[in-house]
Copies of this chain bind each other. A is one copy, B any other.
């Protein structure tokens, strides 16, 4: 039996990444943390739309936020992407479940 918990987390990450706007946001965050207003400017997208996608990314653990005055700054948490990368590696090698561990 495979680890349902780990798979559930991976699925959250996968879903979060599988969307063009969210990828755009992630790429925008590479040059450092940004407030929502920065992201609105860079992308030209509606504020509620940006906030919606930021929430999905945040709930998947791909970004974190911090408030400062009126602004909320978002930044990448690359550890989650690293975990996902590792999960895919295990999936690929067939050692996702404890019964057949990676050597």
Give min CB distance, A69 to chain B, whole Å. Answer: 28
Please pick, from B2, B15, B30, the residue contacting A94 in the complex, using a CB distance under 8 A.
B30
Residues of A within 8 A of B (CB): 2, 7, 10-11, 14-15, 17-20, 23, 26-27, 30, 78, 81-82, 84-85, 88-89, 91-92, 94, 96-97
Asked if A20 contacts B11 (CB within 8 A), the reply is yes
A89-B87 Cα distance, complex, nearest whole Å? 12
26 CB-based A-B contacts, threshold 8 Å: A2-B23, A2-B27, A7-B20, A7-B23, A11-B19, A11-B20, A11-B23, A14-B15, A14-B17, A14-B18, A15-B15, A15-B18, A17-B88, A17-B91, A18-B18, A26-B91, A27-B91, A27-B94, A27-B96, A78-B92, A81-B88, A81-B92, A82-B92, A85-B85, A85-B89, A85-B92
